[in-house]
Structure 1
Amino acid sequence: MKRLRTAHGLTADQLARLISYDRGALSRIERGKRAPTADIAARIDIALDAGGSLVRLIERNRSHNGDDDLVTAARESTEFAQWITATAGQLDSAQVADELTAIGCQFVYATPIPLIERLRALRGEIRAALHTSPAPARARELVLLGGITIDLLAHVTENLGHPRAAERHARAAEAIAVNLGHPGLQAWAEGTRALIWEWNSRPAEAMELAAKAASIAPAGEQQVRLAAIEARCAARIGRTDTAHAAITRSIQAAEAAAHDELTMLGGALRFPPSKMAYYLGSTHRLLGEHEHAQRWALEAILAYETGPTTERSYGDEALARADVAIGRIHSGELDGAREILTPVLRLPSEQRIQPIADGLRAVDTALSNTHYANDPTTIELSEEINMLTSSRHQE
C-alpha cells in the first residue's frame, strides 16, 4: 500500500481524503498496526489503481490468521457508521471547484508540467468520490467537474507538444458532457478539440467543429471563444470572408459577454477581452492584414502588461508579440521586431511551450521571406530563434 501510494505521488492525508477515511486509522493500516476491513481495502485498492491486488492480499492474510468474523463484522459496522456520519473527509463539489479555479488560474502564468500531476490527482479524487455512490445531484456536479478537469488536461498536454494524447483527453471530456446532457461542457470540449486540430495542420476541420460547437454553446465568453477560433482557422485556409464574418461575431458576442458554469471558474476556463484581442490579431496576421494585426496584438499585450499578474498569460502574450514582430518585419522595422520579441526570447526553457515555438518559427519564416534576409539584424535574430526552437524540439 505504501509503495503504491508513493508511486502515485500521494501523501497519507491525500489518500485518506480520497477514500473518505480517518487519517490516523489509515496510517495504522499502512504501518501494519491494524487490518483494514474488506470495504476499506477495496476503497484503497481503487484509489491506488491496484487492480484488486490489495484486496487479494487482505483476503489471503485473513485466511492465514483466522480473524474472528464476528469481530470483523462489528468493526465494519462501526466504520460504516463513521463513513455515514462523517462530513469533514467528504469530497464535495465546492472543494473540487476551488481546486479547479486555483489550477485554472495558475495554468495562465505557471509552467505546465506541475499542473499535470495536480490535475491527475484531482481526477483520481473525483473518481474515488463517485465510487462511494453519492446522491444523484452531487454525483452530477462531480461528473461535470471531472469533465472540466479532463479538458484542462487536454490543454496542458497540447502545450507540452503531445496532440494525440491531448485529443484523447478532449474527446473524453466531450463524451462525459454528452452523457451528462451538458451542452456547455460539450461546446467547450469541442472548442478545445478544434484548437488541437488547428495547431496540428487540420484548420478546415477545426473551423467546422468550432462552428458546430457554437450552435450549442451558451451565450457569453464561450461564443466569443468559438467565433475567434473559427476566424483564425478560416484565415489559415484563406477563407477571408468567413474569417471576417467570424471576427464580427466574436466582437459582438464580447459586448454582451456573461459567465456560465465553466467560465465562472476563471483562469484557463475564461476567454477575456485580452485573449480575444490576441486571437483576432493572429487572424488578421494570417490574412496578411498586418496593420489590423498589430493593432489587436498590441491591445492584447497592453492588457496583459497592465492587468493582474495572475491573469497574465505568458503563452498568449508571447504569440501576440510574435504577430507584432511579423508585422514589423513586413514593414522593414527589424529593430522594432527584435524589441517586441525580447521578452519571448528570454522565457525560461520550461515556459517555451509548443505553441510559442510554433509562433517563433512563423517569425523566422517571415525573416527568411523578406528582402532584408541578409541584414545582420535579421541573421542574428534568425539564429537566436533557431537555437531556441531546436532546443525545444530536443526537449
Structure 2
Amino acid sequence: MLEQPHGFGAELRRLRIEAGLTLTQLAATVHYSKGQLSKIETGRKQAGVELARLCDAALDAGGRLAALVPTEPARRRTGRRTDDSCESLAAPPLWPTLEESEPTALHGSSPPSRRQVIAVGAASVLAVGASEPPPTTAGQPGLVDDTLLGTYRTLLSHYRRIGQMSPPDVLVPVLAEQTRALTSLATRTGSRTGRELLALAARFAEYTGWLAQETGDEGAALRWTAHAVELAAASGDEDLASYALVRRALITYYRGEAADTIALAEGARAGVLPPRIRGLAAQRAAQGHAIAGDHGACMRGLDQARVLLGKEPGPAGVPILGPTHLSDPVSMITGWCLVDLGRPQAGAQILDQECARVPAGSWRTEVRYGVRRALAHALAGEIDHACELTGRLLPLTANVASATVRTDLRRLARTLARHPRNQSYLAIAAPLTAALAPAA
C-alpha cells in the first residue's frame, strides 16, 4: 500500500475551512460522499490521486494539496517494462550496426504470414515487394527514385490508416518486415535515394515502436524507437533522436511519472530543432505538468505548443511526426490535461467539441479520446452521460486492443464503480469488465 503523509487530511480540512466550505459542499463539488471525505480528513482513510487532484482544483490549492498524495505506481497498468530507471529512457542505448540492430523481441523476426498480411488488408499494397527492389528504367533514374519513395510514403500512410482499425499485435510484424525491406533496399540504391529510404525506414520503425507500446510491451517499444533513431542518423537526420525523447516521455506519462515526463520532454525543446518536434515536446511537457498538478506550467506549455504546431510541419511529402488524425491536437490535449488537473467539467466541454471532429473510421483515436471524454463526464458527476458514452465505445475497444487506452478505461471503471446502484452503470458494468479482462 502507498505511504501517505498524515498531513494530507489535516491540510484538506484546513483548506476547506479556509475556503468557507462545509463537508457537504465540498463533497458535492468533487462528487465524492461526505462520509468518504470525513474519513480522509480524520486520517481513517487514504485519499487516492484522483480525489486529491479534484480537491486541489476545488480548493484552488495550486497543486500543493495534490502533491501530498504519492503518484500511483503505474508500472502494472501499462504493461511490461524492463527497467525502473528514468535513465534507461532518457539515454539511447549503444546501438549496434544496422545489420545487427533489428529488434526481434516482439513477435520474432520472421516475415509475417499470409494470414497476418490479409488480416490487416495489406495484401495488395505489399505488391511493391518486400525484399526485391523494382526494376530500373534506363535513362530515368530520378523518375524511378521519386516513384519508389512516393510509393513507400503512401504505404506508410496506408499502414497508419490500417493501424486505426486493427489490433496492434497483428500489424507490428508486417511493419517490422517493411522496415527491414526498406533498410535492405536502401543499401542497393543510389546515395541520395538510399538516404531518403533510410529516413523513411526510420519512420516505419518509429511507428512500429508506437504500436509495440500499444500492445503493452514497453521494452519492444523502446527498442524500436532506438532503432528508428539509428536509421535516421544513418540517413543524416539527427532530429529524430530528440523526437525519441518525446516518445519515451509518453511511456513515463502512462506510468504516472510526472518529473520524468517533464524532464524527457524538455530535452527535445532546443531552439535548433524543427518546430514540429519542439511543439510536440511542449505538449508532452504540459501533460507532465498536468499530472504534477501545476496548472500554470501546463497552460504555458500548451500555449507554446499551439504556436509551434501552427507552423509548417515539415518538408512537403515527408511523413509527419506525431498525431495525424486530429484536426486540432493542442485543443484535444488541453481537454485531456484539464482532466488530469482535477478540472473535469472544463475538460469535458473541450473534449466534447474535439471528439466530434475526429474523422470517421479513426477508431483508435476515437476510442482514446472518447474514453478520456467519458472519464471527464464521470468525474464531473454526470454518470448517466458517462455510461452512455462508454457503452458506445466498448464495441471498438476490442478492435484497437490498446494498452494505453486500457489505462484510462480502468480509471473510468473505478470512477463509475463508485455508483453501484446507478442503472446506467449496471447496464454497462458487465461489458466494461469484459473489456478490461486480459486477452486469452
TM norm structure 1: 0.70
One-letter amino acid of the counterpart of residue 184, structure 2: A
Q: Matches of 2:402 and 2:209 in 1, distance apart? A: 14
Q: String of CA shifts for 1:54-85, please: whole Å, max 9, x gaps.
A: xxxxxxxxxxxxxxxxxxxxxxxxxxxx9999
Report the counterpart of residue 162 of structure 2 in structure 1: 106
Report the counterpart of residue 195 of structure 2 in structure 1: 140
Q: Is 1:95 matched with 2:136?
A: no
Distance 1:269 1:150, change over 3 A: farther
Q: Matches of 1:386 and 1:293 in 2, distance apart? A: 25
**Cα shift at 1:170:** 1.0
5 Å matches for 1:58-69?
none
Report the counterpart of residue 279 of structure 1 in structure 2: 333
Report the counterpart of residue 212 of structure 2 in structure 1: 157
Q: Matches of 1:6 and 1:179 in 2, distance apart? A: 24
Report the counterpart of residue 78 of structure 1 in structure 2: none
Q: Identity rate of aligned residues, in percent?
A: 14
One-letter amino acid of the counterpart of residue 127, structure 1: T
Q: Matches of 1:365 and 1:259 in 2, distance apart? A: 39
Question: SS of the residue aligned with 2:268?
Answer: helix
Q: Matches of 1:225 and 1:154 in 2, distance apart? A: 17
Question: SS of the residue aligned with 1:253?
Answer: helix
One-letter amino acid of the counterpart of residue 350, structure 2: W
Contact 2:302 2:330 in 1 (8 A): no
Contact 1:101 1:266 in 2 (8 A): no
- Which stretch shows the higher mean deviation, 294-303 or 325-334? 325-334
Q: Is 1:120 matched with 2:167?
A: no
**Cα shift at 1:260:** 0.9
Contact 2:153 2:318 in 1 (8 A): no
Report the counterpart of residue 394 of structure 1 in structure 2: 439
Among 380, 387, 391, the residue aligned to 1:338: 387
Distance 1:104 1:330, change over 3 A: closer
Report the counterpart of residue 356 of structure 1 in structure 2: 405
Q: String of CA shifts for 1:150-200, please: whole Å, max 9, x gaps.
A: 000011111111111111111221233345442442333322222123223
Among 375, 378, 384, the residue aligned to 2:431: 384
Distance 1:171 1:200, change over 3 A: farther
5 Å matches for 1:1-395?
18-20=131-133, 92-132=148-188, 134-215=189-270, 216-220=272-276, 222-254=277-309, 256-261=310-315, 264-265=318-319, 270=324, 272-304=326-358, 307=359, 309=360, 312-347=361-396, 349-368=398-417, 370=418, 372-390=419-437, 393-395=438-440
Contact 1:301 1:321 in 2 (8 A): yes
Contact 1:231 1:242 in 2 (8 A): yes
Q: Matches of 1:294 and 1:277 in 2, distance apart? A: 12
**Cα shift at 1:366:** 1.8
Give the structure, 1 or 2, with the largest relative contact order (CA under 8 Å, sep 6 or more).
2
- Which stretch shows the higher mean deviation, 156-165 or 276-285? 276-285
Distance 1:21 1:257, change over 3 A: closer
Q: Matches of 2:341 and 2:381 in 1, distance apart? A: 19
Distance 1:377 1:214, change over 3 A: same
Question: SS of the residue aligned with 1:279?
Answer: helix
Backbone CA RMSD of aligned residues: 3.4
Question: SS of the residue aligned with 2:367?
Answer: helix
Distance 1:83 1:147, change over 3 A: same
Question: SS of the residue aligned with 1:245?
Answer: helix
Question: SS of the residue aligned with 1:273?
Answer: coil
**Cα shift at 1:231:** 1.2
**Cα shift at 1:292:** 2.1
Q: Matches of 1:320 and 1:8 in 2, distance apart? A: 33
**Cα shift at 1:300:** 1.8
Distance 1:84 1:230, change over 3 A: same
Q: String of CA shifts for 1:209-237, please: whole Å, max 9, x gaps.
A: 112112253124x4442222211122123
How many correspondences in the alignment? 320
Distance 1:175 1:128, change over 3 A: closer
One-letter amino acid of the counterpart of residue 225, structure 1: L
One-letter amino acid of the counterpart of residue 399, structure 2: E
Q: Matches of 1:378 and 1:5 in 2, distance apart? A: 45
Q: String of CA shifts for 1:254-306, please: whole Å, max 9, x gaps.
A: 4x3322149952596537434333322111101011122112211221111xx
**Cα shift at 1:17:** 6.4
Q: Quick check: which has more Rg, 1 or 2?
A: 1
Q: Matches of 1:318 and 1:297 in 2, distance apart? A: 12
Contact 2:280 2:305 in 1 (8 A): yes
Q: Matches of 1:349 and 1:175 in 2, distance apart? A: 34
Q: Matches of 1:5 and 1:83 in 2, distance apart? A: 32
TM norm structure 2: 0.63
